[in-house]
Amino acid sequence: MKYLPINALFIGVSDISVRLFSFIAVTYLARALGPANIGALAIGMAILTYATVISNMGLPMLGVRSVAAKTDSIQNLVKRICSAQLLFSIITFSIGAGILFLYIEEWSIRIVAIIYLSTLFPSALMLEWLFQGLNKMKILSIGQIFGMAVYLLFVIGLVSNAADIYWVPFAWCFGLLIKTIYFWTRYKKLNSRGNVNKQPLHLLGIIKQGIPLGIASLISQVVIQFPFIYLGCFDTTENTGLYSVAFRVVVLMLVIDRVFYTLFFPAVSRSFKDSMENLKERVSWTLKIVTGGSLYIAMLAFIAGRDLLPVIFGSEFRDSGLIFQALLGYFVLTIINSVFTFTLIGIKKERLYTKSLLIGAIAFVTILFLPLPLPATLMAPIALAIQQIVSMLMMMKYLRQSILTNLFPRVFLALSVTIIFVIFVILWQHLYPLFVSVIAAVFALPIITVASGINRRDLIILKGFIN
């Protein structure tokens, strides 16, 4: 744990920078292209996300766990994982491009999606998982910032109006290629320190190990990205753009989740290997900190979010503010669920994690297609939140059986207190904007902290990690 503060600093700076660059790019593109073209880009990116999850097939997460637990040599893992991902990328690109030409009639969406799909090939050779497993967070951070900075510069330099829309996926592909080259350059320096005897690839074996994680990732991303496809098919590209902008702000906020995953997942894998008691203590403490912190951040975002988005993206995106507020439930539950997700995977219960996600996905589809008198742009955030709740309850159940601890009361109490504050803001903020905002912001912090179970000892531990 002695490297936690410096690693947290590297990953924090990296993810804030990457998401900030992405946010700047989205803001620039929203003003240059308008809601309809932003909607087309969002659909193309959703298709790429599906294809990437299929071509990765859980292998990067398997790689992190294998490197952290030292179950195989680095050289063998790199060869096996990259070879398997490249094979899946070729197959996925061929099938995906064929489906787009056969079934997507709108030319702009088809071309945007195919250009995005070309990033599968540099993505297959990406070595982020290696440096995460090795705790080389400085290298990981530099590569991530470098790749996104290249993308942002290309977007600003090449895109000025709606006619330039196709340069956006080209810029994304080039940025990813630069990041891949950087990681391979660093790997070659790392690999030059020693040689390992060549061994057979055993692609089938590593693919079988990755499949449970791959299915879980596929279910998760199908749920997350489906609203873009759903809105594109059953609504308008303009509304897809409004939803996309709101979702991008949530993605920026989820930098917290990314930092947490990068640090917590390898630590869980090591704790499980050492001691079950150590694991229980780590999970309990982390859940309290994550729950309290994420709920208070969401509360502040809810207070400010409705009027903030039109200021950032332009008056065309005024309706994105309400969508953003609705998506905050998904934001909070995603971060809290990360504790359960990475604990189950870290203790090698990925099949139970996959089962939890599948049950949550069924709930998501059921809610999304209910004939309720709400616009599709609000039904999607509600369905996402319910999916997270159902998955969380299932994972809590399985963790209680595995590590013999009941985590439900602490999370339920904190969520309930936050919902009361949200109702207070909804009912009174339009009458007394400044007064209600200040009261909610000031009193929510201590009350949510207590409801999350955070005590003086927990704060001392947190302070020790930071220092």
Per run of 10 residues, the mean pLDDT along the chain (length 467 residues) is 59 80 90 87 89 85 75 79 90 92 84 93 89 82 91 93 92 94 88 57 72 75 85 83 89 73 54 62 81 91 83 82 91 89 76 86 91 88 93 87 68 91 90 89 92 83 63
Q: How far is CA 182 from the centre of its chain?
A: 23
Q: Last residue of a domain, which of 197, 230, 263?
A: 230
Q: At 300, which helix (H) or strand (E)? A: helix 276-313
Q: Do 361 and 223 have their domain in common?
A: no
Residues 108 and 182 in one domain: yes
Q: What is the DSSP string of 199-253?
A: ----HHHHHHHHHHHHHHHHHHHHHHHHHHHHHHHHS-HHHHHHHHHHHHHHHHH
pLDDT at 2: 47
Residues 448 and 393 placed together within one structural domain of the fold: yes
Supply the pLDDT for residue 64: 80
> Are 271 and 379 found together in one domain?
yes
Q: Is 213 left (phi over 0), alpha (psi -120 to 50) or beta?
A: alpha
Cβ neighbours of residue 167 under 8 Å, at least 6 residues apart? 154, 155, 158, 159
| 218 and 265 assigned to the same domain | no
Q: Are residues 132 and 167 in the same domain?
A: yes
| Amino acid at position 362, single letter | I
Q: Which residues contact 357 (CB under 8 A, 6 or more apart)?
A: 216, 219, 220, 223, 391
Specify if 238 maps to a domain: no
6 shares its domain with 123: yes
Q: Does residue 235 lie within any of the structural domains?
A: no
Does 262 lie in the same domain as 218? no
Range of the domain at 275: 254-467
State the total domains in the chain: 2
Nearest to 62 by CA among 277, 184, 221, 216: 216
Q: Are residues 189 and 270 in the same domain?
A: no
Q: Do 205 and 162 reside in the same domain of the chain?
A: yes
In a domain, 242, yes or no: no
Task: Give the pLDDT confidence score for residue 1 in this predicted structure.
Answer: 46
Residues 215 and 261 in one domain: no
Residue 66 lies in a domain: yes
Position 347, amino acid: I
Number of neighbours of residue 178 by Cβ within 10 angstroms? 17
- Picking from 195, 230, 265, the residue at the C-terminal end of a domain is 230
- Radius of gyration (C-alpha) of the chain in whole angstroms: 22
Tell me: the pLDDT tens digits for 255-272?
777 665 555 555 555 555
Task: Please tell me whether residues 345 and 420 are part of one structural domain.
Answer: yes
| Residue pair 429/436 in contact by the 8 Å Cβ criterion | yes
Contact between 109 and 44 under an 8 Å Cβ cutoff? The reply is yes
- Domain-ending residue, one of 230, 246, 265: 230
